[in-house]
Amino acid sequence: MRPRFCLAGTLMMALFLSCLRPERLDPCVEVDPNITYQCMDQNLNKIPVNIPSSVKNLDLSFNTLKTLGSHSFSNFPELQFLDLSRCEIETIEDKAYEGLQQLSTLILTGNPIQSLSQGSFSGLTSLQNLVAVEINLDSLESLPIGHLKTLKKLNVAHNFIHSSKLPEYFSNLTNLEHLDLSNNYIETIHHRDFQVLFENPQLNLSLELSLNPVDFIQPRAFQGIRLYELTLRSNFNSTNVMKTCIQNLDGLQVHRLILGEFRNERTLESFDLSVTDGLCNVIIDEFRLTYVDNISGDITDFNCLANVSVMSLVSVHLNNLEHIPKYFKWQTLVVTRCSLKEFPSLDLPFIKHLIFTTNKDPPSFADVNLPNLTFLDLHRNGLSFMGCCSSSHFGTSSLKHLDFSFNGVISISKNFMGLEQLEYLDFQHSTLKKTTEYPVFLCLENLRYLDISYTNTKIDFNGIFYGLTNLNTLKMAGNSFKDNTLSDVFTNMTNLTFLDVSKCQLQQVSWGVFDTLHGLLLLNMSHNNLLLLDPFHYKQLHSLKTLDCSFNLIETSKGMLQHFPKSLASINLTNNSFACTCEHQNFLQWIKDQSLFLVNAEEMTCATPAEMKGSLVLDFRNATCHMHKTIITVSVISVLVISTIAFLVYKFYFHLMLIAGCKKYSSGESIYDAFVIYSSHDEDWVRNELVKNLEEGVPPFQLCLHYRDFIPGVAIAANIIQEGFHKSRKVIVVVSRHFIQSRWCVFEYEIAQTWQFLSSHSGIIFIVLEKVEKSLLKQQVELYRLLSRNTYLEWEDNALGRHIFWRRLKKALLDGRAWNPEGTAEVEDNLEATTST
Ligand SMILES: *[C@@H]1O[C@H](CO)[C@@H](O)[C@H](O)[C@H]1NC(C)=O
Ligand SMILES: *[C@@H]1O[C@H](CO)[C@@H](O)[C@H](O)[C@H]1NC(C)=O
Ligand SMILES: *[C@@H]1O[C@H](CO)[C@@H](O)[C@H](O)[C@H]1NC(C)=O
Ligand SMILES: *[C@@H]1O[C@H](CO)[C@@H](O)[C@H](O)[C@H]1NC(C)=O
Ligand SMILES: *[C@@H]1O[C@H](CO)[C@@H](O)[C@H](O)[C@H]1NC(C)=O
Ligand SMILES: *[C@@H]1O[C@H](CO)[C@@H](O)[C@H](O)[C@H]1NC(C)=O
Ligand SMILES: *[C@@H]1O[C@H](CO)[C@@H](O)[C@H](O)[C@H]1NC(C)=O
Ligand SMILES: *[C@@H]1O[C@H](CO)[C@@H](O)[C@H](O)[C@H]1NC(C)=O
Ligand SMILES: *[C@@H]1O[C@H](CO)[C@@H](O)[C@H](O)[C@H]1NC(C)=O
Ligand SMILES: *[C@@H]1O[C@H](CO)[C@@H](O)[C@H](O)[C@H]1NC(C)=O
Ligand SMILES: *[C@@H]1O[C@H](CO)[C@@H](O)[C@H](O)[C@H]1NC(C)=O
Ligand SMILES: *[C@@H]1O[C@H](CO)[C@@H](O)[C@H](O)[C@H]1NC(C)=O
């Protein structure tokens, strides 16, 4: 319990102290340093001093300043915008704003001003916009602003002004464009109230008089007056009053006249269209009627408005618009938020622009006959349209702009026949049917802008855009493609500069899809399901400036990142699923290198691997990769070394055994004179010639022959070494075609070589059985080398050849024999060597 009491006590103490504090030390919010400060609702009773003198925009609203003394703002000579709304200001002294030569907007809304002195607004040499709403003003006369020659807008709504008389000083306000006198107490508009406008016809004034309880306008009050705009909404509390008042607008020349009421401010029970009968002597360019729902009369009552060029009906509850007379010269008709039961089948020769929007009720489009129509805006009506579109639906072939966005089901079964002039076509957020059955846009070769975003279109026909050769902008977000693959639909749109295929569930992009779009500046592929960033796709986009691939599932890139077009100034890759692994370090390094071109690169995060999830891509360190690399390199090398050694050991196992055996047998005596290596194909020759001549001849030699002398049960290889080499003085190699082709023989021979090398005496005798082609011999490089360098014996199957052969062989075998039995000397003497090159 005790600690809680302590806490509560401390809190209360803090609160108490904070209440005592008269003014927060730094009450203002720095919105834009040195430029914009907001000190709203801070209980300030004087202008804060710690704001930099460079401040341009200062909001001091909802404080308690009470009085503005002279030179109140001399610390802020740069001020351009000053908001003093609801600061309980009662007095504005002379020269209060002195020095604010840059000030262009001054807002004084909601201050109960009791005294303004003649010089209250002096020094405001640049003021353009003065908002003096709800400042207790009882007349325009008492506002000392006659010197504000730069003033463009003066808003004195919600005051106690009873007279619409514009004071003399208005002739000084030559730049004034907008005067808002709404919500005052003006009941009567007198004959000479606008005299100053009559005298200064160069003034181009928009006059807002709404919500004044006007019950009388003196005849000729507006005679000879020219206004840009006159607004009279919710001014009259009866149709009769309205009628006479409107009648007395006689002689006015106004660009735009606005009549009607407000959504929440209805003063008339019903609006009788015949009140406009009084407007025949008013010159009007544009007429607008707003917010009237209880209408009596008919559109034909607009007789006096037959010659206006623009007719706008905003939130007017009309039953129908069918019967607008053909001679009405309206060029633009705007129908907005009017609850019409049916789409009006208009037949008006003069209409050029028809804007029919946000009318909730009409269920389907009906044909119109508007031969001069060029601009048709039908957005947000919930319309359906079967059999769209051809010139016969509109009665025109001049249509350039068609906006059918935000409507119902539109089935395109006519191919825009007769609408070849179309330049702008918008179907977004309507449901399109039958767009992919044939090239629906084939006629539209003048089309520059096409929007079919979110139209439930599934593109399974590559010819969908055939004919659109001049298209600049194609927006098709929120649709889908066959197999979720962006297919080759853009081939002939060589003038395309803007392409949006975002939110199309794309998983991949076919090759060469963009290859003809050399002028494309912006490509939006965001919000798809792409897995890879493949620069190759974009290679041919020579003008591309902006590429948006954000909100995909991109893990890494594919191919050469240098292939991105040189023109590229911005790539958005945010919100992808980057894999921050060493495997993709080239891509991650590229991101770091290109971070200036990448949108919000510093906020891009990794998605995988799990331990990197959420960490910043720019924080990825490739140092670890180098370490990994080293480890990998070292292990690869060790594996290589080990396997090489293993291989060598395997390969030269027998040679090693020889080495081992060398020691063992080196001192031991030889049992055989020679070990014979031969191919089994030559076994006949060995048995019939070699064995016969050597073992049974004089002197007898002891040969080691594997078929005879090897010990059964011992591995052949071991036999070769133990029986063959170790127990023989010499080795006879019988070289033949078969020998060279037999791997086993070559193996034996290789071991023999090793043996020869180990036991110092040269012990290999080559017998070449038959002429072997050189090419074959060359396959056994080593053998070939030895044969061409050393002496060998050539077998010749004739009497003389045999004789020489045996003599030479025996001599070679005798070489190095320890004992010399009888009869050998004679043989030796006759032996002669033959060398071959
Ligand atoms: C604001 O102005 C001060 C003094 O003129 C200057 O030192 C400072 O750098 C400025 N700050 C910024 C954000 O421009
Ligand atoms: C109109 O401007 C002139 C100077 O151009 C000035 O002398 C005169 O007082 C101004 N009128 C009013 C009513 O302030
Ligand atoms: C008159 O003022 C309006 C704005 O209130 C402006 O759009 C229009 O261009 C101006 N006309 C002339 C002739 O200055
Ligand atoms: C219209 O206003 C006048 C005075 O402004 C008042 O006398 C009259 O009763 C009002 N009429 C209706 C129908 O409100
Ligand atoms: C509409 O106007 C008629 C008179 O023209 C009136 O009788 C009726 O009450 C009005 N309806 C509403 C809803 O104001
Ligand atoms: C409209 O113009 C025609 C001729 O251009 C003219 O006869 C007719 O009186 C005009 N109507 C109005 C109401 O000004
Ligand atoms: C309407 O168009 C026709 C030709 O299509 C032209 O002769 C006529 O002058 C146009 N009328 C208007 C008012 O523009
Ligand atoms: C597209 O262009 C190619 C060559 O530029 C041409 O052969 C082909 O007919 C065109 N296709 C269409 C449908 O315009
Ligand atoms: C493309 O645009 C250029 C210039 O904007 C224009 O000259 C050319 O006719 C257009 N059409 C085609 C098919 O290139
Ligand atoms: C791309 O489209 C998405 C929505 O489809 C949008 O939010 C984004 O701003 C677009 N990108 C660019 C660069 O216009
Ligand atoms: C990608 O970045 C660009 C440039 O900042 C931006 O206009 C676009 O809206 C971004 N894309 C998305 C889908 O937010
Ligand atoms: C990453 O590796 C590249 C070479 O692959 C090197 O140029 C770069 O400096 C390295 N960056 C870091 C942060 O280690």
Could you please report the per-residue DSSP string of 735-753?
E-HHHHH-HHHHHHHHHHH
User: What integer is the mean pLDDT of 469-484?
Assistant: 96
pLDDT (tens digit per residue) in 356-369: 999 977 789 999 99
Pocket test for ligand 8, best of 415, 466, 491 (most atoms within 8 A of CB): 491
**Token pair for 437:** 């059955």
Count the helix, strand and coil residues of the chain and give each as a percent rounded to the nearest 5.
25, 20, 55
pLDDT at 9: 45
Does residue 304's CB lie within 6 angstroms of at least one atom of ligand 6?
A: yes
Ligand 3 centroid distance, CA of 471 (Å)? 35
Least confident of 580-594, 691-705, 755-769: 755-769
Q: Is the pLDDT of residue 427 over 60?
A: yes
Confidence of residue 736 (pLDDT cuts 50, 70, 90): confident
| Residues of the chain above pLDDT 70, percent | 90
- Terminal alpha carbon distance of the chain: 117
Ligand 10 centroid distance, CA of 477 (Å)? 9
Preceding omega of 389 cis (within 30 degrees of 0)? yes
Does residue 269's CB lie within 6 angstroms of at least one atom of ligand 5?
A: yes
**Quick count: other Cβ atoms within 10 Å of Cβ 573?**
25
* CA separation for the pair 439, 417 (Å, rounded): 12
Does residue 294's CB lie within 6 angstroms of at least one atom of ligand 5?
A: yes
* CA separation for the pair 487, 499 (Å, rounded): 14
Q: Tell me which of 647 and 25 has the higher pLDDT.
A: 647
User: What integer is the mean pLDDT of 507-527?
Assistant: 95
Least confident of 196-200, 622-626, 698-702: 622-626
> Which residue's CA is the nearest one to ligand 8's atom 1?
492
Does residue 240's CB lie within 6 angstroms of at least one atom of ligand 4?
A: no
Q: What is the DSSP string of 763-804?
A: -EEEEE-S---HHHHHTSHHHHHHHHHS--EE---SHHHHHH
Q: Which atom of ligand 4 is nearest to the CA of 241?
A: 1
Q: Tell me which of 809 and 148 has the higher pLDDT.
A: 148
**If DSSP codes are grouped into helix, strand and coil, which group holds residue 154?**
strand
Confidence of residue 293 (pLDDT cuts 50, 70, 90): confident
**Token pair for 797:** 């199957």
Confidence of residue 669 (pLDDT cuts 50, 70, 90): low
Ligand number, closest to the Cα atom of 591:
12
Confidence of residue 23 (pLDDT cuts 50, 70, 90): very low
Q: Is the pLDDT of residue 529 over 70?
A: yes
Which residue ranges have their beta carbon within 6 Å of ligand 1?
A: 33-34, 52, 54
Confidence of residue 679 (pLDDT cuts 50, 70, 90): confident
The runs of H, that is alpha helices, within 248-337 are none
Does residue 814's CB lie within 6 angstroms of at least one atom of ligand 11?
A: no
Mean pLDDT of the chain: 87
Q: Is the pLDDT of residue 823 over 60?
A: no
Q: Which atom of ligand 12 is nearest to the CA of 589?
A: 1
Q: Is the pLDDT of residue 348 over 80?
A: yes
Ligand 10 centroid distance, CA of 448 (Å)? 20
> Which residue's CA is the nearest one to ligand 2's atom 6?
147
Does residue 477's CB lie within 6 angstroms of at least one atom of ligand 10?
A: yes
Ligand 10 centroid distance, CA of 585 (Å)? 28
* CA separation for the pair 762, 768 (Å, rounded): 18
Does residue 679's CB lie within 6 angstroms of at least one atom of ligand 10?
A: no
pLDDT at 24: 40
**Token pair for 284:** 């009007």
Q: CA-CA distances (angstroms) from residue 552 to 91, 478, 503? A: 61, 14, 9
Ligand number, closest to the Cα atom of 174:
2
pLDDT at 336: 95
Confidence of residue 717 (pLDDT cuts 50, 70, 90): low
Confidence of residue 21 (pLDDT cuts 50, 70, 90): very low
Q: Which atom of ligand 5 is nearest to the CA of 294?
A: 1
Q: Which atom of ligand 10 is nearest to the CA of 502?
A: 5
Does residue 119's CB lie within 6 angstroms of at least one atom of ligand 2?
A: no
pLDDT at 294: 86
- In three-state form (DSSP H/G/I as H, E/B as E, the rest C), the secondary structure along 401-467 is EEECCCCCEEEEEEEEECCCCCCEEECCCCEEECCCCCCCCCCCCCCCEEECCCCCCEECCCCCCCC
Q: Is the pLDDT of residue 832 over 60?
A: no
Q: What is the DSSP letter of 365?
A: -
* CA separation for the pair 767, 703 (Å, rounded): 15
Give the orientation angle of helix 653-666 with respect to helix 623-651, to 10 degrees: 50
Q: Give the rounded distance of the alpha carbon of 544 from its chain centre.
A: 12
Q: Give the rounded distance of the alpha carbon of 133 from its chain centre.
A: 47
Q: Which atom of ligand 4 is nearest to the CA of 213?
A: 5
Ligand number, closest to the Cα atom of 350:
7
pLDDT at 776: 76
pLDDT (tens digit per residue) in 228-257: 999 999 999 899 999 999 999 999 999 999
Ligand 12 centroid distance, CA of 594 (Å)? 14
Ligand 9 centroid distance, CA of 277 (Å)? 52
pLDDT (tens digit per residue) in 428-446: 999 999 888 889 999 999 9
> Which residue's CA is the nearest one to ligand 10's atom 14?
524
**Token pair for 825:** 């000397």
Q: Is the pLDDT of residue 122 over 80?
A: yes
- Inter-residue contact 55 to 31 (CB < 8 Å): no
> Which residue's CA is the nearest one to ligand 6's atom 2?
307
Cα dihedral 73, 77, 82, 85, rounded to 10, equals 0
The one-letter code for the residue type at 378 is L
> Which residue's CA is the nearest one to ligand 11's atom 6?
572
| Residue 384: φ, ψ to 5° | -110, 160
Q: CA-CA distances (angstroms) from residue 12 to 3, 9, 20? A: 14, 5, 12
**Quick count: other Cβ atoms within 10 Å of Cβ 95?**
19
> Which residue's CA is the nearest one to ligand 6's atom 3?
307
Ligand 4 centroid distance, CA of 235 (Å)? 11
Q: Tell me which of 704 and 399 has the higher pLDDT.
A: 399
* CA separation for the pair 183, 192 (Å, rounded): 21
| Residues of the chain above pLDDT 90, percent | 59
Ligand 5 centroid distance, CA of 294 (Å)? 6
pLDDT at 834: 36
User: What integer is the mean pLDDT of 86-98?
Assistant: 94
Residue in the block written with tokens 């990994």? 628
pLDDT at 119: 93
Q: What is the DSSP string of 615-648?
A: SBGGG--THHHHHHHHHHHHHHHHHHHHHHHHHH
- Inter-residue contact 720 to 751 (CB < 8 Å): yes
Ligand number, closest to the Cα atom of 439:
8
Confidence of residue 654 (pLDDT cuts 50, 70, 90): low
- Inter-residue contact 549 to 533 (CB < 8 Å): yes
Q: Which atom of ligand 2 is nearest to the CA of 145?
A: 14
> Which residue's CA is the nearest one to ligand 1's atom 3?
34
Does residue 526's CB lie within 6 angstroms of at least one atom of ligand 11?
A: yes
Does residue 470's CB lie within 6 angstroms of at least one atom of ligand 9?
A: yes
pLDDT (tens digit per residue) in 807-820: 888 888 887 776 54
Does residue 198's CB lie within 6 angstroms of at least one atom of ligand 2?
A: no
Does residue 238's CB lie within 6 angstroms of at least one atom of ligand 5?
A: no
User: Nearest-5° angle of CA 319, CA 322, CA 324?
Assistant: 110
pLDDT at 139: 95
pLDDT (tens digit per residue) in 201-233: 999 999 999 999 999 999 999 999 999 999 999
Ligand 11 centroid distance, CA of 610 (Å)? 27
Ligand number, closest to the Cα atom of 238:
4
> Which residue's CA is the nearest one to ligand 1's atom 8?
34
Q: Which atom of ligand 4 is nearest to the CA of 237?
A: 1
Ligand number, closest to the Cα atom of 349:
7
Closest CA to 334 of 281, 275, 378: 378
Confidence of residue 568 (pLDDT cuts 50, 70, 90): very high
pLDDT at 715: 67
Ligand number, closest to the Cα atom of 498:
10
Ligand 12 centroid distance, CA of 622 (Å)? 6
Preceding omega of 609 cis (within 30 degrees of 0)? yes
Ligand 3 centroid distance, CA of 107 (Å)? 23
User: What integer is the mean pLDDT of 324-333?
Assistant: 95
Pocket test for ligand 7, best of 372, 373, 375, 398 (most atoms within 8 A of CB): 372
Ligand 2 centroid distance, CA of 172 (Å)? 6
Instruction: Give me the residues paired with residue 254 across strands.
Output: 227, 284
Q: Tell me which of 625 and 820 has the higher pLDDT.
A: 625
Ligand number, closest to the Cα atom of 35:
1
pLDDT at 822: 43
**Token pair for 735:** 């070289």
Does residue 328's CB lie within 6 angstroms of at least one atom of ligand 7?
A: no
Q: Is the pLDDT of residue 51 over 80?
A: yes
pLDDT at 3: 41
- Inter-residue contact 284 to 309 (CB < 8 Å): no
Which residue ranges have their beta carbon within 6 Å of ligand 12?
A: 589, 621-623
Closest CA to 324 of 293, 294, 292, 354: 354
Does residue 307's CB lie within 6 angstroms of at least one atom of ligand 7?
A: no
Least confident of 18-32, 759-773, 798-812: 18-32
